[in-house]
Amino acid sequence: MKFNTRIGFVLLFGALALAACNLPASGLGPTAWLDRPLDGEAVPLAPLIIQAHASDADGVAIFEFFVFDGLLASVPASGGWLGEASIERTFESASRQAARSGPLS
């Protein structure tokens, strides 16, 4: 009886391991984040490099940078499933700006 139980567990574990091999790689969709400036960092009135990364199983084609819902720049992504883009801008407004990153909508 003990031998049959062991064989059953080995077969069950093997079947589960093989079934897990066919699971989809990711169902989370695209993910993006800012590398520079850091989240919550005050933006100076000087040249500023804005750098972002994004990943998606289908690939990343383009980055769009927005300030107050206005398009600042569209930059082609470098890379395949993991893309990177950066721009350099000088902000001339005296109002205090802060970097913000979050989920894609």
Q: What's the token pair of residue 94?
A: 């005296």
Could you tell me if 90 and 72 are in contact, meaning their C-beta atoms sit under 8 angstroms apart? no
Assigned domain for 36 exists: yes
| Distance between CA atoms of residues 59 and 78, nearest Å | 10
Q: Which residue has the higher pLDDT, 99 or 54?
A: 54
pLDDT digits (tens, 9 = 90+) for 23-48: 555 567 889 998 988 888 887 788 88
Model pLDDT, residue 105:
46
**Sheet of strand 31-36: strand arrangement:** 31-36, 47-55, 82-90
Non-local CB neighbours of 25 within 8 Å, separated by 6+ positions: 57
Pairing of strands 47-55, 82-90: antiparallel
Q: Residue 63 class from Cβ within 10 Å (0-12 exposed, 13-18 middle, 19+ buried)?
A: buried
Residue 32: inside a domain, yes or no? yes
Mean pLDDT over all residues of the chain? 76
> Which structural domain range is residue 42 located in?
26-90
Q: What's the total number of domains in the chain? A: 1
Model confidence at 80, in pLDDT bands (50, 70, 90)? confident
Q: What pTM did the predictor assign?
A: 0.58
Evaluate whether residue 8 is within a structural domain: no
78 falls within a domain? yes
Q: Identify whether 50 is part of a domain.
A: yes
Residue 70 within any structural domain of the chain: yes
* Position 35 in a domain: yes
